[in-house]
């Protein structure tokens, strides 16, 4: 269960990086201080690299702007989006930790129904450290949770579960709606606290939102590419969706689990629905082709690593979605570039990426 | 696409495994009284039932069952007697709740949910089995489909099965019950969600509702354990039935929901011992190891569009693939085949 307490020894404090994309400021970190203070932050500064983003005092962080991304990746920087929070995936690539938590800069600490502050990071860590159960649905949701278990009829051979690769959290207040829904329901707020974590079953796709997301970088990191969005691209607000569909088919193939549900954060800012509509417009039509594509993706037995799965996926994207729009051919290229860059930066002999503005906290 | 279910379209089917239904029916009276009720008495029970007056109800006892179903090989004893009620109902929707369950209330006595109304809401609103919505039921007030949910899938499909949950005594098998005798489910999860297509699940028959017209024959007395008893943790009949029903729903492209409503399940009044049951029922738990992979692999012919034909085909597959592994499966296949015959003879007209 989520609690508002700050743990004595922050779990995984030296194994987890918090990746935050920002173009504005990091004021929101003040509210998260009790929960984030002991963790290393990777700030990915989008937009104008000459602007200085002030990081609140006392946080241990590294910060990368566009100049850093270009310098570190060289020509491969083309795969990292500009003017879109999709650029956050650069942070995943340069991290040296096993786990990543990523959060948007308009997300704050939420309260649970008893009024206590929710330590979202702590709940994500619990979700990641606890197995998933993708092969058979447990009607009492997370069977490893205190006070719950597997229900009658659940095969014992499936009760060990599989490793959890992704923990997808939710949002109170401003829900993650697309532009058409925002336009029709501008005042709707998510006030329903659903006290559950559940595994998304094998073979089932879902819309993965990047606002409040944690994952095991060693298990699934290379698949967490957030695509080509923003400046110069025909589409936006599909970065996390794209990553989520790729991640899910690869997790299904490799026998890894994806969880959704707790923890909640408080999402404070509703983005402009007209701006959103322009960004999403093509995606709304394209997803009608994209979804059947992902639902029918088959990866061969030879795809035994995430990278191999991802490259195989990129070939199928090129072949099948390239016909929908030339964007997908570019995207397939970018997926390959991403894997090349990931492997280069993450091979055992790779030099450490040099950020801009590293400060050692307190 | 949401419809409105009329009270006259609903039967509440109660399997009476306890002779005194007074407390049960009085507790449910505010919720059951607008509806017609079918009570089916466990044919093994000798005592007369005590039923408070003032309900529109029809009672079936052993002799009624023999009169209607004739010389059938179906064993309606114990929890399976409810299937007789499903068979003879002539209404479109059925709600069925075990007789040791009560309206769920919080510690101050305030009603948590109206289980009857919630089941009907679940059946009235579409299900969304083809893509998972992270905000759960998108048709509920205050919520919707999230960003990234394909628009072509937002009409949903008919929901034909609503699986509710239990507060207090959760539906555990006997090993779990024996290991955690004092664990109680106190977690109220305020969600209804569609169980995705292709995902199998253990349906607990303790608190369910379904569209009898669409799904009826798929809820069936199939797998009977050799040591089957009267306590839920000594049975797998509803689990088997639910796997059948889910396979049929997936084939027909209709939906199954899980979550709300909750009912409050009491401790076994006779202080039943899970450990004693475990000695008898361990076989049942082991059977799931074969049963679940079987149902996960069921693929039905595209030409089958009615639930009874789907069930007949599944029965043939059970006979062929599982039959050789354990006599219980061959019996289940036979029961399913007999059930389809009974359903065709009686079930489609109602009695």
Q: pLDDT by residue (tens digit) across A223-263?
A: 999 999 998 999 999 999 999 999 999 999 999 999 999 99
Q: Residue A144 domain-assigned?
A: yes
Residue reference for tokens 């937009």: A47
Q: Residue A142 domain-assigned?
A: yes
Q: Residue A92 domain-assigned?
A: yes
Domain span at residue A300 reads: 16-349
Contact state of B199 with A155 under an 8 Å Cβ cutoff: no
Q: What is the per-residue pLDDT for A263?
A: 98
d(CA B281, CA B226): 8
Contact state of B146 with A178 under an 8 Å Cβ cutoff: yes
Residue reference for tokens 């010389």: B71
Taking 80 as the threshold, does the pLDDT of residue B276 lie above it?
Answer: no
Confidence of residue B35 (pLDDT cuts 50, 70, 90): very high
Q: Residue B51 domain-assigned?
A: no
Q: Residue B233 domain-assigned?
A: yes
Contact criterion met (CB below 8 Å) for B203 and B163: yes
d(CA A46, CA B40): 67
Q: Name which of A111-125, B38-52, B256-270 the model is least confident about.
A: B256-270
Contact state of B199 with A150 under an 8 Å Cβ cutoff: no
Q: Which residue of chain A has the CA closest to B182?
A: A147
Within 8 A by CB and 6+ apart from B305, the residues are: B252
- Stronger pLDDT, A1 or A261, i.e. the higher one: A261
- Residue whose C-alpha is closest to residue B64's, from B96, B88, B94: B88
Q: Residue B201 domain-assigned?
A: yes
Q: What is the per-residue pLDDT for A362?
A: 33
Q: What is the per-residue pLDDT for A66?
A: 96
Compute chain A's Rg from CA coordinates. Answer: 20
Domain total in chain B: 1
Q: Residue B38 domain-assigned?
A: no
Q: Residue B89 domain-assigned?
A: no
Q: What is the per-residue pLDDT for B171?
A: 86
Q: Residue B128 domain-assigned?
A: yes
Q: Residue A359 domain-assigned?
A: no
The tens digit of pLDDT for each residue in B254-271 reads 999 999 999 999 876 545
* Burial class of B39 by CB neighbour count within 10 A (0 to 12, 13 to 18, 19+): buried
| Residue B73, preceding peptide bond in cis (omega within 30° of 0) | no
Domain total in chain A: 1
Most confidently modeled range among B125-139, B233-247, B334-348: B125-139
d(CA A171, CA B135): 9
Q: Choose the mutation target among A1, A86, A141, A151 for the interface with B, i.e. most B CBs under 10 Å.
A: A151
Is B171 an interface residue toward A (CB < 8 Å)?
yes
Q: What is the per-residue pLDDT for B350?
A: 47
Q: Residue B10 domain-assigned?
A: no
Q: What is the per-residue pLDDT for A361?
A: 36
Q: 3-state secondary structure string, B180-197?
A: CCCCCECCCCCCEEECCC
Looking at beta carbons, which residues of chain B come within 8 Å of A196?
A: 187, 189, 191
Mean pLDDT of the region B267-282: 66
Q: Residue A4 domain-assigned?
A: no
The tens digit of pLDDT for each residue in A120-140 reads 999 999 999 999 999 999 999
Domain span at residue B177 reads: 97-347
Average pLDDT value for chain B: 92
Q: Residue A6 domain-assigned?
A: no
User: What CATH number is attached to the domain comprising A79?
Assistant: 3.90.550
Q: What is the per-residue pLDDT for A355?
A: 59
d(CA A169, CA A265): 8
Q: pTM (2 decimals)?
A: 0.94
Q: Residue B56 domain-assigned?
A: no
Q: Which of residues 93-132 of B touch A (CB under 8 A)?
A: 131-132
Taking 80 as the threshold, does the pLDDT of residue B229 lie above it?
Answer: no
Looking at beta carbons, which residues of chain A come within 8 Å of B233?
A: 152
A-to-B residue pairs, Cβ atoms closer than 8 angstroms: 180
pLDDT above 70 covers a percentage of chain B that reads 95
d(CA B166, CA B265): 6
Taking 80 as the threshold, does the pLDDT of residue B58 lie above it?
Answer: yes
Taking 60 as the threshold, does the pLDDT of residue A146 lie above it?
Answer: yes
Interface confidence: ipTM more than 0.85: yes
Q: Choose the mutation target among A139, A145, A180, A281 for the interface with B, i.e. most B CBs under 10 Å.
A: A139
Contact state of B289 with A157 under an 8 Å Cβ cutoff: yes
Taking 90 as the threshold, does the pLDDT of residue B172 lie above it?
Answer: no
Residue reference for tokens 């050692």: A360
Q: What is the per-residue pLDDT for A7?
A: 56
Q: What is the per-residue pLDDT for A227?
A: 97
Q: Name which of A196-210, A309-323, B261-275, B292-306 the model is least confident about.
A: B261-275
Q: What is the per-residue pLDDT for B9?
A: 97
């Amino acid at each position: 269960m989520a609690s508002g307490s700050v743990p004595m020894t922050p779990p995984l404090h030296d194994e987890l990086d918090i990746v935050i994309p920002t173009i504005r400021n990091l004021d929101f970190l003040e509210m998260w201080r009790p929960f984030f203070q002991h963790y290393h932050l990777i700030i990915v500064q989008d937009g104008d690299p000459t602007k200085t983003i002030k990081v609140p005092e006392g946080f241990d962080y590294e910060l990368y702007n566009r100049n850093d991304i270009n310098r570190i990746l060289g020509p491969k920087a083309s795969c990292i989006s500009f003017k879109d929070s999709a650029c956050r995936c650069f942070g995943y690539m340069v991290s040296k930790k096993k786990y990543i938590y990523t959060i948007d800069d308009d997300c704050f600490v939420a309260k649970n129904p008893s009024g206590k502050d929710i330590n979202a990071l702590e709940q994500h860590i619990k979700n990641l450290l606890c197995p998933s159960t993708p092969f058979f649905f447990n009607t009492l949701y997370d069977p490893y949770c205190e006070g719950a278990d597997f229900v009658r009829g659940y095969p014992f051979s499936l009760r060990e579960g599989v490793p959890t690769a992704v923990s997808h959290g939710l949002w109170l207040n401003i829900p993650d709606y697309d532009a058409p829904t925002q336009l029709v329901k501008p005042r709707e707020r998510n006030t329903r606290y659903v006290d559950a974590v559940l595994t998304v079953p094998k073979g089932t796709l879902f819309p993965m939102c990047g606002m409040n997301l944690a994952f095991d970088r060693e298990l699934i990191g290379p698949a967490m590419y957030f695509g080509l969005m923003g400046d110069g691209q025909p589409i936006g607000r599909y970065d996390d969706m794209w990553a989520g569909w790729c991640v899910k088919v690869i997790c299904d193939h490799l026998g890894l689990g994806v969880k959704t549900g707790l923890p909640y954060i408080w999402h404070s800012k509703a983005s402009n629905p007209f701006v959103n509509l322009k960004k999403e417009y093509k995606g709304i039509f394209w997803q009608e082709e994209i979804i059947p594509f992902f639902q029918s993706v088959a990866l061969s037995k030879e795809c035994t690593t995430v990278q191999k799965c991802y490259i195989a996926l990129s070939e199928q994207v090129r072949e099948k979605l390239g016909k929908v729009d030339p964007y997908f051919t570019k995207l397939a290229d970018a997926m390959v570039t991403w894997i090349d860059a990931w492997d280069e930066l993450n091979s055992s002999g790779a030099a450490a990426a040099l950020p801009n503005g590293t400060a050692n906290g307190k | 696409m949401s419809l409105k279910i009329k009270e006259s379209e609903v039967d509440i089917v109660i399997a009476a495994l306890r002779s005194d239904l007074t407390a049960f029916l009085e507790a449910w009276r505010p919720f059951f009284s607008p509806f017609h009720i079918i009570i089916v008495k466990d044919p093994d029970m000798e005592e007369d039932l005590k039923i408070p007056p003032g309900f529109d109800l029809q009672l079936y006892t052993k002799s009624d069952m023999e009169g209607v179903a004739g010389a059938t090989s179906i064993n309606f004893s114990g929890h399976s007697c409810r299937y007789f009620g499903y068979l003879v109902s002539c209404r479109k929707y059925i709600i069925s709740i075990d007789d040791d369950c009560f309206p769920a209330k919080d510690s101050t006595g305030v009603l948590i949910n109206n289980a009857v109304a919630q089941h009907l809401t679940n059946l009235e609103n579409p299900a969304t089995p083809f893509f998972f919505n992270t905000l759960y039921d998108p048709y509920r007030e205050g919520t919707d489909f999230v960003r990234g949910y394909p628009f072509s899938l937002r009409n949903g499909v008919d929901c034909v099965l609503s699986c509710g949950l239990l507060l207090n005594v959760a539906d555990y098998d006997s090993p779990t019950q024996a290991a955690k005798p004092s664990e109680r489910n106190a977690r109220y999860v305020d969600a209804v969600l569609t169980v995705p297509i292709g995902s199998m699940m253990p349906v607990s028959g303790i608190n369910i509702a379904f569209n009898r017209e669409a799904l009826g024959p798929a809820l069936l007395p199939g797998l009977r354990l050799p040591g089957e008893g009267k306590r839920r943790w000594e049975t797998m009949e509803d689990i088997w039935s639910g796997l059948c029903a889910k396979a049929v729903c997936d084939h027909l492209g209709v939906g199954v929901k899980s979550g709300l409503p909750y009912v409050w399940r009491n401790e076994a009044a006779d202080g039943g011992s899970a450990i004693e049951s475990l000695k008898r029922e361990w076989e049942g738990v082991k059977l799931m190891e074969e049963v679940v992979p079987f149902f996960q692999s069921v693929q039905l012919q595209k030409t089958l569009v009615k639930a009874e034909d789907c069930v007949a085909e599944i029965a043939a597959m059970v006979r062929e693939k599982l039959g050789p592994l354990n006599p219980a499966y061959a019996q289940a296949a036979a029961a399913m085949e007999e059930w389809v015959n009974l359903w065709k003879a009686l079930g489609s007209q109602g009695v």
